[in-house]
Amino acid sequence: MAANGFIELLRLAKRGNKNYVTTENEINRWSGIAFEMMGQYFVAPLGEVFEVIYPPKYTPVPNTQAWVMGLANIRGRLLSVTDLAQYISGQRSQFSPTQKVLCISHNDHYVGLVVDQVLGIQHFNKKSFFSKQSELQSNLTEYCQGCFYQHNQYWHVFLFSRLLQNPKYMNASIKFIN
């Protein structure tokens, strides 16, 4: 009986909170992990990002592409750390105290991607989604699918699953690249 009263109080408190998102609004909402890279803003589906960490200490791996930074031990699990901007553009990221690593756990792969900064979870109205890429560099189009326009800013939807399907990324050894 007391539990039912407590649940009712919670329901009434939510109803009185003007900031509470209603079920109708939740249906029209899309959420993702927002990050900045190469001066552009991106958002990744929540399900594609396992965790966000500060750049860890890593051990360089010989005979790999320049964008492969090395391997790190994260709670007993080996994480391959790569500079995402360098992989895409060929230009090494400048170190910044705002840099973070997006950890992607997909199938049997555990990958850490260094980005300029992570802006947390962002919520978008699905009506602000455009399937056409706007203001996106051509070397990013194969990894992005549409964008949201919010707060006078384009947020490109970056799909890490596409990155992990690219043989060029998955075969980071120098001997495999022509």
Checking if the pLDDT of 1 tops 60, the result is no
Tokens for 125, please give them. 């109205």
**pLDDT above 70: percentage of residues in the chain:** 83
Length of the chain: 178
Q: Say whether pLDDT at 40 is over 80.
A: yes
Residue 111 inside a domain? The answer is: yes
pLDDT more than 90, % of the chain: 62
Beta carbons within 8 Å of 145's beta carbon, 6+ residues apart: 131, 157, 159
Does residue 167 belong to any structural domain of this protein?
yes
Average pLDDT, the chain: 86
Number of domains comprising the chain? 1
Please report whether residue 2 resides in a domain.
Answer: no
The verdict on residue 6 lying in a domain is: no
For the stretch 76-87, pLDDT in tens is 999 999 999 999
155: Cβ–Cβ under 8 A, 6 or more apart, which residues? 34, 41, 42, 43, 122, 124, 147, 148, 149
Q: Is 72 inside a domain boundary?
A: yes
> Is residue 71 over pLDDT 60?
yes
Mind listing the pLDDT tens digit for each residue in 96-110?
899 999 999 888 889
Is residue 154 assigned to a domain? Answer: yes
pLDDT higher than threshold 90 for residue 16: no
Which helix (DSSP H) or strand (DSSP E) does residue 109 occupy?
strand 109-115
pLDDT band at 9 (very low <50, low <70, confident <90, very high): low
Question: Residue 113: which CATH number?
Answer: 2.40.50.180
Q: Is residue 7 part of a domain?
A: no
How confident is the model at residue 19, as a pLDDT? 57
Domain presence at residue 3: no
What is the spatial distance between Cα 74 and Cα 46, in angstroms, rounded to a whole number?
Answer: 21
Cβ of 145: how many Cβ atoms within 10 Å?
15
Chain-centre distance of CA 134, in angstroms?
Answer: 19
The predicted pLDDT at position 50 comes to 93
Q: Print the domain residue range for 76.
A: 29-176
